[in-house]
Structure 1
Amino acid sequence: MKTIINTNFGKILAIAIISMVTFSASAQEEETTPKFSFSGTVDAYYRANITAPNDEEAIAPGSSFAQLPGFSLGMANLIAAYEGEKVGFVADLVFGPRGTDAIFESPMYSATGDIINQLYVYWNVSDAVTLTFGNFNTFLGYEVISPAANFNYSTSYLFSYGPFSHTGLKADFDLGNEWSAMVAVMNPTDLTEFNPTGDYAVGAQLGYSGQFLNFLYSQGGFEVDYTGGFDLSDEFFLGINAAYFDNSDVEVDFAGVALYPQYAISDTFSLGLRGEYFTETDLGAIDQTDSLTGDLDVFAVTLTGSATIGNLILKPEVRLDSASEDAFIDNDLAPTGSLASVLFAAIYSF
């Protein structure tokens, strides 16, 4: 694929970002105590199909992670961070199937040991401006790579087919009155160690009071994404994600919307439902039979419980995926339009 964003444009945009923030560098510095922190998660799960056999890895929803049959591994996530007075770094390493899937497009995939999820430095130029340089997880979407930060353990189609990570330079701006903005120049999507193409992507975000409108342009394709949520009561939260992606160069596109109602029954147990509608053209996201082309739609409903025991979170989950065509396989190995599955996950955070 060819990109419209050329090398010179990427360099110009990077210079422009740096120029914008230098005007804020004269803000008064706050005295802080430098500190080093170490955190992370460990997760494992059990997954089984109800309406399909469990002896083949390929029979699973077409979304990322949590697709393996039987007792399965997630990942160990180890995060080292240093926060200085004005500068710091984050080194985020992953080990296991979930981590390997998360960095699948790295051009130095084997050379780095499949373990670098994020690796960046940052500079708090002022109270209102932060520069980040390196590899960081995407700013698009409601869900993230870390299982501890998602309510549902399995992931949505919207998350799975948007970008996972970027490498480049971004500038975050606190505009005041709950407004924020971000601009970035980056390698093409998911190329995280270096740039083998000479092309560059651009990204932008506008935020207000926890609601974010995101934009990404990379190699002839663009994605527009809205991510947000609202506290409807002390116990009831509603998360929202909607996105549209199009790349006319390769005639691939997708769009979808997902709602995340979550209700806290007690201090240690909550129930959450993800309802997602996702449509795609020639992406191959939905079809698990490798026999369909053209437009496909899927409606997926996932009910998840979340029980907290100290630093341990237990998540039982039931998921139903229903497609517009016979995109799945039933217990007789015949094509069918739906797939029902169950899952139980355990996540420890430290």
Structure 2
Amino acid sequence: MKKIFLTLLVATSLATTAQEKKGIFTISGTVDTYYTSNLKDNSLGSIGVLYGGSGVANGFGLGMANTIFSYEKGKAGVVADLAYGPRANAANAYEGAINQLYAYYRASEKITFTLGQFNTFFGYEVISPAGNFNYSVSYLFNAGPFSHTGLKMDYEASEDLSFMLAVTNPHGITAGANPSTNYQLGFQTGYKGQYFNLAYGADGFGFNDVLYLDYSGGFNLTDSFFFGINAAYSNSSDADAGYQGVALYLQNSFSKKFSLGLRPEYYQTTAGKGDASVTAFTLSGNISLTENLNLIPEIRYDSLNDMIISGLSAQNNITGATLATVYSF
């Protein structure tokens, strides 16, 4: 009996040692598709996926295929996050092929350095629909930035308190290289799930003094009800323009398989020639058909008086219905 136990112990030890030598390789990702319809005659524009023009107006559409390859060994690792499709193209400077591509090094239990392209630390919503409750995105999300290319340092002061410092290329650069000596500085502090974000510098669109401020967080008011919030402000004296807005995320879980959420949002652009604003209300259901497949029925109403939604010539409101599927693996 002792020999059997000793043999099993040695075999387990060798397997663990071999795994440590080889490192850990994982693959994950998502695929999403949808049908959307504007519930108004002669509405050609879309409020479906991203306002950057990635959504079809009345019909079936593709979101994106997202595959994440990661490898970690010891204190270091790499992540290659590849994304293809209209949603990825609209949100990515590299035409969707590379969503994220970076290497990281854990200098200690508290400090991690990351170099490469990584998704933004701003905002409440993310590019992949699997990370959002609503399928369509908010105006605040679409205002960007989406991703950054550069160096960042994350410091976990405690389980509740964290800090991040970043130096990156201007987020609007599309060619990969930075043709100037202008950069963007980033900062984040987080406390118990509440995050304050700041970025300042060049935006890649010809302006070098752009300030971005952002707060995102939320609270579990009951065991089933969650209240989230995202508020943001941006301004550039050089551009004489900016934006500000707030979005709320009211979500209730009725069971393990069904949740319902409402996202009211107010968004305003500011400029020397005049301000413009829009309000939007998005009601979304989340239905777990299987452990991996999620169905999202959604109704969205956008209203504006002085701001034209892209593709909706001279219209000041639109109602859209969307049915999306998101598969995660």
Q: CA deviation at 1:336?
A: 3.2
Q: Would the alpha carbon gap of residues 264 and 60 (structure 1) be closer, same or farther in structure 2, given more than 3 Å must change?
A: closer
For residue 168 of structure 2, the aligned residue among 181, 186, 192 is 186
Aligned partner of residue 105 in structure 2, secondary structure: strand
Q: Would the alpha carbon gap of residues 98 and 169 (structure 1) be closer, same or farther in structure 2, given more than 3 Å must change?
A: same
Aligned partner of residue 335 in structure 1, secondary structure: coil
Aligned partner of residue 324 in structure 2, secondary structure: strand
Is the 2:100–2:118 Cα contact (8 Å) retained in structure 1? Answer: yes
Is the 1:52–1:329 Cα contact (8 Å) retained in structure 2? Answer: no
Q: Does 1:35 align with 2:24?
A: yes
Match of 1:4 in 2: none
Q: State how many pairs are aligned.
A: 300
Give 2:245's aligned amino acid.
G
Q: CA deviation at 1:334?
A: 7.0
Match of 2:286 in 1: 306
Match of 2:6 in 1: none
Q: CA deviation at 1:64?
A: 4.4
- Tell me, in whole angstroms, the C-alpha distance in 2 between the residues paired with 1:153 and 1:247: 30
Q: Does 1:208 align with 2:219?
A: no
Q: Does 1:127 align with 2:124?
A: no
Is the 1:79–1:93 Cα contact (8 Å) retained in structure 2? Answer: yes
Deviations 1:10-47 (A, max 9, x none): xxxxxxxxxxxxxxxxxxxxx99421000100010011
Is the 1:151–1:306 Cα contact (8 Å) retained in structure 2? Answer: yes
Matches within 5 A, 1:96-111: 96-103=85-92, 105-106=93-94, 109=95
Is the 2:32–2:327 Cα contact (8 Å) retained in structure 1? Answer: yes
- Tell me, in whole angstroms, the C-alpha distance in 2 between the residues paired with 1:232 and 1:86: 38
Aligned partner of residue 245 in structure 2, secondary structure: strand
Aligned partner of residue 98 in structure 1, secondary structure: helix
Q: Which runs of 5+ in 1 are unaligned?
A: 1-30, 284-292
Give 2:191's aligned amino acid.
Y
Match of 1:90 in 2: 79
Q: Does 1:195 align with 2:178?
A: yes
For residue 302 of structure 2, the aligned residue among 318, 321, 326 is 321
- Tell me, in whole angstroms, the C-alpha distance in 1 between the residues paired with 2:30 and 2:62: 12
Is the 2:31–2:64 Cα contact (8 Å) retained in structure 1? Answer: yes
Matches within 5 A, 1:1-350: 33=20, 34-54=23-43, 56=44, 58-60=45-47, 63-64=51-52, 67-69=55-57, 70-103=59-92, 105-106=93-94, 109=95, 114-191=96-173, 193-219=176-202, 220-282=209-271, 294-310=274-290, 311-325=292-306, 327=308, 335-350=314-329
- Tell me, in whole angstroms, the C-alpha distance in 1 between the residues paired with 2:259 and 2:41: 29
- Tell me, in whole angstroms, the C-alpha distance in 2 between the residues paired with 1:82 and 1:312: 26
Q: Which runs of 5+ in 2 are unaligned?
A: 1-16, 203-208
Give 1:222's aligned amino acid.
L
User: Could you say which structure has the greater relative contact order, defined with CA pairs below 8 angstroms and 6 or more residues apart?
Assistant: 1
Is the 1:326–1:336 Cα contact (8 Å) retained in structure 2? Answer: no
- Tell me, in whole angstroms, the C-alpha distance in 1 between the residues paired with 2:68 and 2:310: 39
Is the 1:327–1:335 Cα contact (8 Å) retained in structure 2? Answer: yes
Q: Which has the larger radius of gyration?
A: 2
Percent sequence identity over matched residues?
47
Superposition CA RMSD, Å: 2.2
Q: Would the alpha carbon gap of residues 122 and 59 (structure 1) be closer, same or farther in structure 2, given more than 3 Å must change?
A: closer
Q: CA deviation at 1:196?
A: 2.0
Q: CA deviation at 1:338?
A: 1.1
Q: Would the alpha carbon gap of residues 52 and 254 (structure 1) be closer, same or farther in structure 2, given more than 3 Å must change?
A: farther
Is the 1:147–1:153 Cα contact (8 Å) retained in structure 2? Answer: yes
- Tell me, in whole angstroms, the C-alpha distance in 1 between the residues paired with 2:316 and 2:90: 26
Deviations 1:230-268 (A, max 9, x none): 011110111110000001111121000110010001101
Question: Which piece of structure 1 moves more, 312-321 or 195-204?
Answer: 195-204
Aligned partner of residue 281 in structure 1, secondary structure: strand
Q: Would the alpha carbon gap of residues 53 and 59 (structure 1) be closer, same or farther in structure 2, given more than 3 Å must change?
A: farther
Q: CA deviation at 1:335?
A: 2.5
Q: CA deviation at 1:324?
A: 2.6
Q: CA deviation at 1:60?
A: 3.7
Q: Would the alpha carbon gap of residues 334 and 116 (structure 1) be closer, same or farther in structure 2, given more than 3 Å must change?
A: closer
